[in-house]
Structure 1
Amino acid sequence: MSADPECACFGGAPASPDPQPGLTRIPWRLATHGTFNGAMLDQLHKAPALARLTTRDPSDPAIALLDGWAVTLDILAFYNERIGNEGFLRPATERRSVLELARLIGYSPAPGVSASTFLAVNCDTIPGSPEQVTLPAGAGVMSVPGPGEKPQIFETDAEIVARPAWQDLHAQSVHYVAPAAGDTRLMLYPPTQLKTGDMVLVVGGERIADAQSPRWQARRVAGVEDIPADPIDQVPPRSEVLLESALGAAATIPLQSPRVYAMRQRTNIFGHNAPAWESLPIVLRVGEFLPIAVAAQTVPALQALEASKQSSNAIVSFAPGGPSGAMSEMAAGGGTASLGYGGILDDITNIMEFDATRKLAPGIYAGRRTSWADAPFPAGRDYIDLDQVYDRFVAGSWIVLRAGTTMQAYQVTEATEISVSDFGMSAKVTRLKLRGPSLSSFSPRSTSVHGVSELIPWGMTPITTPVAGREVTLSKPVEGLAAGQRVALTGSEAASGNAAARILTIEQVSTVPAGGDAAQLAPPATMTTRLRFTSDIAPGLAPRSVRINANVVSASHGETREDAIGNGNAAIAFQTVPLPSKPLTWVSSSNPPGRATTLRVRIGASWWNEVHSFVGAGPRDRVFTTRTADDGTVTVQFGDGVTGARLPSGKGNIMARYRTGTGLAGMLKAGQLSQPLQRPAGFAGVVNPLPTGGAEDPESLDAARANAPVTVRAMERIVSLADVADYARAFAGIGKADAALVRDGTWRSIVLTIADTGGGMPAAGDTLFDNLEESIAAVRSGGDYAGQRHGLPITLAGYRARGFALRSELILASDAVAATVLAAARAALLQAFGFAARQFAQPASLAEASAVLHGVGGVRAARFTRFHRLDQPAGVAPVLPSAMAGRLGNGWQGAELLTLDPDQLVLTQVQ
């Protein structure tokens, strides 16, 4: 320091601070020791009374006195700055400062909220077990702790009546497949007892209603493969029947309740074994001789023949148009020849011969409709005679006539036993009266009969289409399920095979025919249960993996206690009593703070109510408030007899019923909650199908500093788009929230994308999701939310997690410790691109990643070899986009949150 009294090197008086907005520390310090000391020394020569004090030597008592005051002022300025900073929320560092500032706007740091989940209850299924098991509200379940964890206790939020019939329900994993054009196989239910060469007939309602309908198919069997049942996946046995040829065109496929019949009997028509006409004796081939002199006009149906033909032995046939006759003439030494009229051969009927008076009369073949066994049946005939008596051919059954490649199906309307004599033979046979097309394509000798039809149930084929959408058809009917009931649905994702679980709410229960899309193939009266849910099953699950448990109850973290916490003393105003156990459990709720206390206080026989403050309370109001200390201890405070009633005096008359346990300690994996603390008769076990969620630790200082202004912006009302996000962000358990106005043609909606404090993706059915949705609806409409009545609809959606890969080669400083620098670089990247630091729909850029790496000490340069989204091809992209909320099919989807995948982060050192 200069001893010159005229020296102007002390800088003058301290400058007034001029703080700027948005600072995390306000530069409110007036000056430091040097500034204060210099300013005082600068004023010495200006005071006339001190004109003779020319020394500036620090050892001089006067100068030392000024130095002492400078030290005092420096201390005062330091604390004044700190006190000034403590008066503002952002730069405040003391917890008490933040608490008191928050209380000025009616905000108290959140006490945290307990985790919640759903429990799937299982009952005993052994014979004699109860048909239902009641588990009361508050039933405890303890977790199986992982390494470094402590057991956590959850309790059921409501009573549940569980039924064994509601657990281990399977989705329909097999279905009927209707026959289609070109099919070469039929799936039938065993035992079919079919073998190669057997005939099967596929016929439906069309042929029953219309005997001329072309919708039927008959095929011979080429082979049969029996597939055994799979009892684990509830897949019944089935027989795969290979056909000799594919089914025909679509116009010939039965559509109305198609049924398949096995033809168990193959037989022939009477006359199939008649001797050939040429081999018969002449007396059987002909009747009496017809004199050539008989004129054509003497027989009405007889037509004149050419003169050249009249000298030959002839069998005469007449074209249609009337009764036709047949005669034979024998010329000496001559043969026989068939004569045709106009080239058309007709059935030989009404065979004539001469009677005793030499007049033409019906002969021994009168009434014959065919000339012999090779001739086709006449068009008007509606019956066939089998070659013998068959008892198994009955009315109502089906037969298939086959002649070469020609086949036709007929339904038997009558089966009788008769005696027939024809073709030089006689026998007792079964006559079948038939319903169907004309028999004119068949003859006795060439036709085989496939009959004794036996209905074979269709077999079921495994379903390969993933279980998706909002509906699931169960493998069997289930009684008692109702709308509003929650179910736990588990299975494997069809695309990846990863295990998946959903908690869904039933919207509708219906009874439908079993069999899937081809339910008309199912046997009559075969029904099952179909469930429709309020939300989609996504992504799709493999059908055979799906299991459903409808014994589901919600549960939350915390163990119930009931303690005598103190003695009332009417002489004490605002008496306070601490709870003996901590931390106090707060559970998720639909009220505006998003949480509700589990504390209930009873004084004697009366329950007192908790209020936010005593403001407005009267002297008889039985109310109390609570305060939470830094260590989590909750203190209960009662009134003074003016604002709130005083406690009555009594020993041990202050009783508290509450739960302990809260925060992120309750965040457990799926399956960890499996140790029930109560086991009523018939109870088998319990498990949480999904990880627990929605937990939040008591609010930290930084969190309270950030959240307190949000509550002022939201003010428990929703008016603007920003209010939607602010309201959700202030809701207990919500870690991130973003509201976006989404348009899709004429559709508009506010899509609110949310994430819980642990980074989870809340979904419909989760306690946190449902409570927030209900709370928003109540705030917008006073509890009667009706779509757009109070503005655009608000759709809640969990965010879509997306990851990206980063690989970089780093050049480090020559004196850097590679392992330390690489670890620091990795930590910096994961922090910069982690859940806490990123926002919904925020892209990631290569420049941002480069800046993070260059901010790590010891990193001189970085070369990126990969920077891409995991759902895009590998490469180096300058910017990785992150999608906003938008339309998805008939619904809406939340925004993406793009974060760095730790498993895809690779940093290497290069020289």
Structure 2
Amino acid sequence: MSTSIKDSGDCDACESQAATEAAPLYNRPGQPALAYRIGTHSRFFQRMLARLPREFLPDGEFAGTRPLAALSTRGTEDLSIAMLDAWATAADVLTFYQERIANEGFLRTATERRSVLELARQLGYELKPGVAASTYLVFTVETAPGAPSRVQVPVGVQVLSIPGQDARPQTFETTEALEARAEWNLLRVPRTQAQPLMRGEDTLYLRGLQPGIQPGDALLLVGEERESQPGSEQWDLRWVKTVKQVSNPKEPELNHTVVTWEPGLGSESPRMDPADHPRAFVLRLRGNLFGYNAPSFKAMPDEVKQRYNPDYRPGDARFTQWPQFENTTAVQGIVDLDREYPTLVHGSWVALWKSRYLELYRITDIQPWAREDFTMTAKVTRLTFDTNEHLSYFPLRSTVVLAQSEELPIGEMPRTDAVQGDSIELDRAVAGLEPKHVLLIEGRTLVDGQSGEWLRQVVALDRAEALPDGRTRLVLQEPLAAPLARDTVLIHGNVAPSTHGETVREVLGGGDGSRTHQRFVLRKPPLTYVAAPTDTGGESTLELRVNGVLWKEVPTLFGQDERAEVYMVRLQDDGAVVVTFGDGVSGARLPTGQENITAVYRSGIGPEGEVDSGQLALLKVRPLGIREVNNPLPATGAAAPESRDEARDNAPASVLTLRRVVSLQDYEDFASTFAGIGKAQAADLTNGERILVHVTVAAHNGEPVEPGTQLHESLEEALRAHHDPVRQFALSSYERIHFAVEARLRLDARYLPEDVLARAEAALREAFSFERRQFAQAVSGAEVIRVLQDVPGVVMVDLERLHPTTPFIPEQKLFSVIRARGARWERTLLRPAQLLLLDPSLQGERRGVTLVHDLEVSP
């Protein structure tokens, strides 16, 4: 034994006042970790050194003596002290792991996923395996001659995505069978409507582009009334004021010509209404009656006057006109035009115009005629009309003949009303649409008469009704989410739901009746779970058969009958999927057999399946008659396997409702623990007539949970199955609004300014991100300043602007507080809760964060 470096017989170590016992442990509530160690190496070592001189022998020859009191050395090179050092090291290691084990025994403090998994299982809670993304596929049936007009699309048709950069193609499969028809490829709403050509109307829409009508032309509108009754006055002739041709290159069938005139249709004196269903004609010819250019009788020499009128006497003022200069054939319904007009045809219309007086006639006979009269000789056109009514009113000189009627195709006027509500009229008759048929409707929304964002909505058909005009009206099970601009509406009729994941068929192995709890591992994880109205929001796609018989999956084998053909599935911490069978007491054992355990399941899950719209376009095997496939809607609703931290919060919440959703907190807990849901908030709302529970939700990745998606439908159905049937509830996706920040910072001169500014912007975006904010949570200037002030290198913050960008406020202002609203009634509309986030845009006038520095402060 070595000696002390001191020569004195006194031992300073023996007089050490170090505690010989460990201090009692105390853990304050709410801490993220337990303090469970009774000491560390240094404390253990010091306590053992302090107890050396105090240790005595309890019995034997030297009972009551303190043999180590004389040990004066405390150097670790001494073997006795070295042994204590070794034991202190062992105690340090043991207590370290003891503390780790103690922390792993509590849900709040556990750090390993396996610990959280096993603790959650004590509550009957399994870590969620995630859920597959889902979307709707739109199939287009081939329309080429000879192609089948109806195609059966079975369950399981696989469609691959076109991957983006650094991404892999994802496989989606249809989950419901579909009978696709060519006539359902694209359904349209009527873009035009019949023109109300009533009294006062001054506009006519002609079908197609009509270059043959010009301003100043005579336009005739005449119907069956005048055609069947020659004396009818129900017709109108107007002079064309303007002509406008409207061309639509993408849809030539919508080309039309707009013609206007003055005054409007109808007559006040005498009062006469326009024709009920008129036809339109342009009168292209303007002519005259024979004799309009005859020389003046008064200017003729007396011998000429006497030759044409034997009763004439020179100087007799009574004879001022040619004899029979009036239309003598008018009583026979006959007129002679001033020359030959070969373009006039039988049955066409002729209007005679004198000053403001018009009459309409229809040609019943046309004869070429030679006429000599009034000192003139000419070949004329003799017309016989369907009536002689008022024909004598038209003198030869002042009458204008409007003829050569050419019919114009009357079209329909454009419809500009919005498509909205739960009733949609199609532009044609469509057969075969049955109730519950799925449709995908898209178009641009209308907000205060202005075009808004593009909306795509999946709806189910309630019924299809045949209309008297030969069209079909669709009545939907739910109304459209917003009014749509009619000229943008498209309706896809060949729609099938699909989910992420590829079908796998494999033989797991053979059963052994002598073994209990036989286990098998799926060879191609991850196992696909799809959104379903279950307690957890997911449902396994695994189908397992033993000797060809389908066995049932159960949450746990505990409590199962000894002959129950069941199994349970467990997801290991490494992602492996293990199938476990019973032991003959809790669940039946597997029967002995060679490769008699087979499985069919789908592989693929999580956010990688959330492909964008238009990416699902590659059919692995093209069904005969299908031309193409697409996904107008992006795939949504996916969720990754539950993480440790998520399970730490969700596991206790799962036992709060006990499958009964009664209170507001129950609604929030149930929705927030549903697979694919990231946030939920419930509120009691009343509009004075009824009270309901409104649940606002957001997907786990911050995306909206749109009506019609599988996630929305599954959550709504699950809530309906578990909630208090006495209460009404409504489920909506949240409303996202944004704000922007502009601040001037003073920085510590020791830091690089660009690094500080980058950290400051990152801090703001983290503090006001989807993960950190709650529904209806306001943002204050003080909160923004606190976040910036906590960034290393920031000395002072001058907040210059804080303002909403939804809706955008051009004149940026400094708001002390920007508020977000909770769920509410707005008149008759039910509005969801708002989530106020920092504007994600980084460019232009709507830049979300603007940070500058004007002064660096030296330390």
- Structure 1 and Structure 2 fold alike (TM over 0.5): yes
Match of 2:153 in 1: 135
Match of 2:581 in 1: 638
- Matched-pair contact (CA < 8 Å) for 1:624–1:637: yes
Instruction: Kindly indicate whether the alpha-carbon contact (under 8 Å) linking 1:594 and 1:732 is maintained by their aligned counterparts in 2.
Output: yes
1:270, 1:385 within 8 Å by CA — same for their partners in 2? no
Partners of 1:887 and 1:210 lie apart in 2 by 61
Is the 2:183–2:430 contact (alpha carbons within 8 Å) kept by the matching residues of 1?
yes
**Any idea what the Cα deviations from partners look like across 1:36-58, whole Å, max 9, x if unmatched?**
77788599889996899878977
1:855 maps to: 790
Q: Tell whether the 8 Å contact from 2:513 to 2:590 is kept in structure 1 after alignment.
A: yes
Going from structure 1 to structure 2, the CA distance change for 1:195 and 1:85 (only over 3 Å counts) comes to closer
Instruction: Please tell me whether the aligned partners of residues 807 and 864 of structure 1 are also in contact (alpha carbons under 8 angstroms).
Output: yes
Distance 1:861 1:644 in 2: 68
* Contact 1:19–1:28 (CA under 8 A) maintained in structure 2: no
Residue pairs, 1:85-124, within 5 angstroms: 85-124=103-142
Which of 3, 11, 14 aligns to 2:23? It is 14
Give the paired residue count.
803
Larger Rg: 1
Unaligned runs of 5+ in 1: 288-329, 338-364, 366-370, 514-524, 782-789
Residue 568 of structure 1 aligns to a residue whose secondary structure is: coil
Q: Percent identity between the aligned chains? A: 34
Q: Deviations over 1:106-135 (max 9, x none)?
A: 110001111111111123222222212222
Map of 2:384 onto structure 1: 430
Alignment-mate amino acid for residue 869 of structure 1: P
C-alpha distance in 2 between matches for 1:528 and 1:57: 110
Question: CA–CA distance in 2 between the matches of 1:115 and 1:429?
Answer: 78
Q: Give distance in 2, aligned partners of 1:716 and 1:210.
A: 79
User: What pairs with 1:63-462 in structure 2 (closer than 5 Å)?
Assistant: 78-175=96-193, 178=196, 185-190=203-208, 191=210, 193-194=212-213, 197-202=216-221, 217-222=236-241, 224=243, 230=249, 232-243=250-261, 245-247=262-264, 257=277, 259-263=279-283, 373=326, 386-387=335-336, 402-407=353-358, 430-433=384-387, 448=400, 450=402, 456-460=408-412
Match of 1:652, SS? coil
Shift of 1:799: 1.4
Change in CA separation of 1:55 and 1:276 when aligned onto 2, cut-off 3 Å: farther
| Partner residue in 1 for 2:378 | none
TM-aligned CA distance change 1:460 to 1:713, over 3 Å = same
Offset of residue 715 of structure 1? 2.1
Cα distance in 1 for residues equivalent to 2:284 and 2:467:
33
- The Cα of 1:683 is off from its aligned counterpart by 2.3
Deviation at 1:648, TM superposition (A): 0.8
Match of 1:506 among 461, 475, 481: 461
Distance (whole Å) between structure 1 residues aligned to residue 619 and residue 628 of structure 2 = 7
Shift of 1:242: 5.0
CA distance in 2, matches of 1:693, 1:28: 45
Change beyond 3 A, Cα 1:333–1:238? closer
Kept in 2, the 8 Å contact 1:476–1:528? The answer is yes
Cα separation, 1, equivalents of 2:537 and 2:224: 61
Query: For the Cα contact (< 8 Å) 2:674–2:715, is it kept in 1?
Result: yes
Q: Tell whether the 8 Å contact from 1:235 to 1:462 is kept in structure 2 after alignment.
A: no
Matched, 1:567 2:502: no
Are the counterparts in 2 of residues 174 and 235 from structure 1 also a CA contact under 8 Å? no
Please say if residues 8 and 42 of structure 1, whose CA atoms lie closer than 8 Å, have aligned partners that are also in contact. Answer: no
What amino acid maps onto 2:439 in structure 1? V
| 1:820 to 2:755 alignment | yes
The answer on whether the counterparts of 1:717 and 1:727 sit within 8 Å (CA) in structure 2 is no
| 8 Å CA contact retained: 1:267, 1:387 | no
What is the match of residue 31 of structure 2? 23
Q: 1:282 to 1:793 in 2, by over 3 A?
A: farther
Q: Where do residues 742-757 of structure 1 align in structure 2 (5 Å cutoff)?
A: 742-757=685-700
Q: Which residue of 2 aligns with 1:300?
A: none
- Quick one: distance in 1 between partners of 2:791 and 2:366? 104
User: Quick one: distance in 1 between partners of 2:149 and 2:774?
Assistant: 51
Query: Could you tell me which residue of structure 2 aligns to residue 895 of structure 1?
Result: 833
CA contact (8 A) 2:740 2:803 kept: yes
Alpha-carbon distance in structure 2 between the residues aligned to 1:12 and 1:685: 79
Deviation at 1:18, TM superposition (A): 4.9
What amino acid does structure 2 have at the position aligned with 1:755? A
Q: Is the Cα–Cα contact under 8 Å of residues 10 and 35 in structure 1 kept in the other structure?
A: no
Q: CA deviation at 1:777?
A: 2.0
Equivalent residue number for residue 648 of structure 2: 705
Structure-2 separation of matches of 1:216 and 1:474: 33
CA distance in 2, matches of 1:673, 1:333: 102
- Cα deviations across residues 266-292 of structure 1 (Å, max 9, x unaligned)? 6778998999998998999999xxxxx
Distance 1:821 1:50 in 2: 68
Structure 1 residue 663, shift from structure 2 partner = 0.9
Q: CA deviation at 1:661?
A: 0.8
The one-character-per-residue Cα deviations of 1:347-367 (angstroms, maximum 9, x if unpaired) are xxxxxxxxxxxxxxxxxx9xx
Q: Describe the shift of the 1:449–1:267 C-alpha distance in structure 2 as closer, same or farther (beyond 3 A).
A: same
Could you tell me how far apart the structure 2 residues matched to 1:891 and 1:202 are? Answer: 47
Q: Distance in 2 between matches of 1:259 and 1:114?
A: 60
Q: CA deviation at 1:620?
A: 1.8
Range moving further from structure 2, 832-841 or 263-272: 263-272
5 Å matches for 1:679-828?
679-780=622-723, 790-828=725-763
Picking from 838, 851, 854, the partner of 1:907 is 851
What's the CA shift string for 1:590-610, capped at 9, x where partnerless?
A: 222211111111111211111
| Map 1:470-619 → 2, pairs under 5 A | 470=422, 472-491=424-443, 501-511=456-466, 527-535=470-478, 537=480, 543-619=486-562
Note the alpha carbon deviations across 1:451-481, whole angstroms, 9 max, x for none: 7766533234555666555555545443333
**Residue 618 of structure 2 aligns to which amino acid in structure 1?**
Q
Once the 2 structures are TM-superposed, how far is the Cα of residue 202 of structure 1 from its aligned partner? 3.8
Whether 1:872 aligns to 2:815 is no
Partner of 2:620: 677
How far apart are 1:255 and its partner, in Å?
Answer: 9.3
Structure 1 residues 573 and 210, CA gap change in structure 2 (3 angstroms): farther
Q: Tell me how far 1:722 sits from its aligned partner.
A: 2.0
Cα RMSD for the two superposed structures: 4.8
1:650 alignment partner, SS class = coil
**Which of residues 869, 882, 890 is equivalent to 2:820?**
882
Distance (Å, rounded) in 1 between the aligned partners of 2:73 and 2:416: 94
| Counterpart residue type for residue 201 of structure 1 | L
What SS does the corresponding residue of 2:669 show, helix, strand or coil? Answer: helix
SS at 1:772 equivalent: helix
Distance 1:124 1:65 in 2: 88
The alignment partner of 1:149 has SS state of coil
* Unmatched runs of 5 consecutive residues or more in structure 2: 1-9, 59-63, 376-380, 843-847
Q: By how many angstroms is 1:815 displaced?
A: 1.7
The structure-2 alpha-carbon separation of the partners of 1:35 and 1:208, relative to structure 1 and needing over 3 Å to count, comes to farther
AA partner of residue 714 (structure 1): T
Q: Quick check: 1:666–1:695 contact (8 Å CA) kept in 2?
A: yes
- Partner of 2:169, secondary structure, is coil
Partner of 1:626: helix, strand, or coil?
strand
Distance in 2 of aligned mates of 1:284 and 1:773: 101
State the secondary structure of the residue aligned to 1:562.
Answer: strand
Contact 1:31 1:77 in 2 (8 A): yes
In 2 relative to 1, CA 677–800 (structure 1 residues): closer, same or farther, beyond 3 Å? same
For residues 235 and 658 of structure 2, what CA distance do their matches in structure 1 show? 73
Change (3 A) 1:155 1:445: same
Residues 654 and 424 of structure 1, relative CA distance in 2, 3 Å threshold: same
Partners of 1:87 and 1:758 lie apart in 2 by 31
The SS at the match of 2:749 is coil
What TM-score do the two structures reach when normalised by structure 1?
0.76
